[in-house]
Amino acid sequence: MKYITFTLLAMISLLLLSACRTQSGNAALRIGIIRPSIDHLPLTLALHKGYLDSEDYKVIQFTSGWEVQEAISAGRIDLAIMPFTYAWTAIAKGYDLKIVSCLERETDGLVTSAKIQTIRDLHKRKIGLLRASTLEVLMQDLAAKNSIDFAPVYFRTPAEMIAALQTSDVDAVVSYVPLIQKMGAGFHVVHWFSDTYPGHPCCDLVAVESVSKNRRKELETVVSALRQAASELADPSAEDLALISKQYGLSREQVLDALEHTRFDVSLSEFDKQFERLMMNAFVENSYLSKLPTNKEVYSD
């Protein structure tokens, strides 16, 4: 009887402690990431090295950017590392989100089979894209600059898109590292978009507006931890490389190649804002959106 009483008291104490934690605004922040992407690598490193307390942050994995967009728009997560196009789209549709910082940069490339040697060879060809993604707007921008008329073929997930390239259902895809490194010897990158826009943002840190306002200290802790991890990834240690290799199922050589085409920079400059707005103009032209929100509506103070 004493044991049962003690057990009940312990359970009640835990429930009360949990309730107090939630009511005080200190519930674990839920962070959404895209599992195939390398965009969350600084977060993975920050948690692994203890820059963030794993009890205070719950990482939730998704397989595509649109899934992350749906989750944060519905309030199922508090923060997300996601393509800026999905963030802008949700904000334009009235969801209370804010871009806190850019994070992952330069990871996108145009991947083709060996028979395609230049981007001009893609004229009148089929190119696989993820609709309303950074990949789509980058390809549209490249095509316009080089007078390439291509046939877009849309997929819901990166895995479906790459499978289509491997079975020759499309002639090229716009993808990102480390998926590019897993494509195999029969495929190559015919264009890196960083050649056109060095340092361009791909994925940003996005927060539910109530988090950016009411949990500012916790959000600043996340940003600080990401910045520390990002600085270390500029010159990764052997331990870092081993962790990345394990996380993504890559060889050491594939990891080094992926990092060579990746920059992690936790900042938000005028260049970043201008680039994102420039790319988002395509959404209005394509009738994805009727108009773009203002920078004040998009970015956190």
Examine the pLDDT at 90 and tell me if it is beyond 90: yes
Question: Which of 178, 183, 176 lies closest to 244 in space, CA to CA?
Answer: 178
Taking residues 206-212, report their average pLDDT: 96
Question: Which of 74, 86, 49 lies closest to 276 in space, CA to CA?
Answer: 86
Examine the pLDDT at 184 and tell me if it is beyond 90: no
Give the percent of the chain with pLDDT over 90: 85
Structure tokens at 33: 């990431």
Looking at per-residue pLDDT, the higher value among 137 and 4 belongs to 137
What mean pLDDT value characterizes the chain? 91
Examine the pLDDT at 8 and tell me if it is beyond 50: no
Report angle CA 287, 35, 299 to the nearest 5 degrees.
50
Structure tokens at 12: 């009640």
Q: Rg for the chain (alpha carbons), in Å?
A: 21
d(CA 93, CA 43): 28
d(CA 258, CA 270): 27
> What pLDDT, on the 0 to 100 scale, is given for residue 25?
53
Q: Which fold has domain 2-106+202-274?
A: D-Maltodextrin-Binding Protein; domain 2 (3.40.190)
> What pLDDT, on the 0 to 100 scale, is given for residue 52?
96
User: Which of 5-19, 47-61, 106-120 has the least mean pLDDT?
Assistant: 5-19
In this structure, which amino acid lies at residue 134? T
CB within 8 Å of 148: residues ≥ 6 apart: 119, 120, 122, 123, 142
In this structure, which amino acid lies at residue 78? D
Cα 79 → chain centroid: 11
> What pLDDT, on the 0 to 100 scale, is given for residue 6?
40
Helix (H) or strand (E) segment spanning residue 102 = strand 97-105
Own/partner pairs for 298-301, CB < 8 Å, 24+ apart?
298/87, 298/88, 298/91, 298/98, 298/99, 299/98, 299/99, 299/268, 299/273, 300/98, 300/99, 300/100, 300/207, 300/212
> What pLDDT, on the 0 to 100 scale, is given for residue 137?
95
Which residue intervals of the chain bear CATH 3.40.190.10?
2-106+202-274, 108-195
In this structure, which amino acid lies at residue 69? Q
CB within 8 Å of 202: residues ≥ 6 apart: 39, 83, 84, 104, 105, 106, 107, 108, 134, 176
CATH architecture of 108-195: 3-Layer(aba) Sandwich (3.40)
d(CA 158, CA 197): 23
In this structure, which amino acid lies at residue 33? I
> What pLDDT, on the 0 to 100 scale, is given for residue 36?
87
> What pLDDT, on the 0 to 100 scale, is given for residue 26?
67
Residue 155 pairs in a beta bridge with 130
